[in-house]
């Protein structure tokens, strides 16, 4: 029996990422094919976006794919704040093009398809000045508690660019 559903494929991707470092989508395609999934790179690319998988530097500096749960905070809410900010810095450097602000919100622009992954990283960093994020395809709106908090978050994000 060979599972073929999108959900099963997503679970397989998370299992692969837990078992070994994956540096390219081609590696992920090959591993999925070896496990009985017939996929293309385009399918894997869409799955990566849908699942919130991020491409971040490994300890040796080479980029690798990591599941969203590994990026910052465990499901029970505990996590290392320093590590969370390191992952946020890497996500911003890798994916953010610009940070802009209006009266009440920050607008964080990314290349198409990356806003959700960066928003997940922002949410998991649990920055106290951020109330919520809302991601589209290439833009994230960041709601702060006050104008002062908005400026602080903007400086933080721009510091990583």
Say what percent of the chain tops pLDDT 70.
84
Contacts of 149 (CB under 8 A, 6+ apart): 129, 130
User: pLDDT per residue over 74-97, tens digit each?
Assistant: 333 444 555 666 777 777 887 788
User: pLDDT per residue over 83-139, tens digit each?
Assistant: 666 777 777 887 788 887 777 799 999 888 788 888 888 888 888 889 999 999 899
Fold annotation for 92-160: Gyrase A; domain 2 (3.30.1360)
Q: Which residues of 28-42 are buried (b: 16+ CB within 10 A; e: fewer)?
A: bbebbeeeebebeee
More confident residue, 45 or 62: 45
6-69 CATH choice from 1.10.10.10, 3.40.50.2000, 1.20.140.10, 1.20.120.1200: 1.10.10.10
Residue ranges of the chain assigned to CATH 1.10.10.10 = 6-69
Residue ranges of the chain assigned to CATH 3.30.1360.40 = 92-160
Total residue count of the chain as it appears in this document: 161
Total-model pTM: 0.50
Going by C-alpha positions, the residue among 82, 59, 61, 70 that lies closest to residue 120 is 70
User: Tokens 């395609």, residue?
Assistant: 29
Mean model confidence pLDDT for the chain: 81
Q: What is residue 82's predicted lDDT score, i.e. its pLDDT?
A: 57
More confident residue, 72 or 118: 118
Say what percent of the chain tops pLDDT 90.
25
Q: Environment class of residue 102 by beta-carbon count within 10 Å: exposed (0-12), middle (13-18) or buried (19+)?
A: exposed
């Amino acid at each position: 029996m060979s599972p073929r559903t999108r959900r099963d494929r997503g679970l397989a991707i998370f299992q692969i990422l837990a078992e070994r470092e994956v540096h390219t989508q081609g590696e992920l395609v090959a591993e999925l094919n070896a496990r009985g999934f017939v996929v293309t790179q385009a399918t894997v690319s869409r799955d990566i976006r849908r699942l919130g998988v991020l491409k971040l530097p490994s300890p040796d500096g080479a980029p690798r794919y990591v599941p969203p749960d590994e990026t910052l905070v465990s499901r029970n809410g505990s996590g290392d704040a320093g590590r969370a900010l390191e992952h946020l810095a890497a996500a911003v450097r890798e994916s953010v093009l610009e940070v802009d602000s209006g009266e009440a919100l920050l607008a964080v622009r990314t290349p198409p398809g990356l806003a959700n992954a960066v928003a997940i990283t922002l949410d998991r960093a649990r920055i106290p000045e951020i109330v919520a994020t809302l991601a589209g395809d290439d833009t994230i709106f960041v709601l702060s508690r006050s104008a002062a908090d908005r400026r602080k978050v903007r400086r933080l994000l721009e510091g990583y660019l």
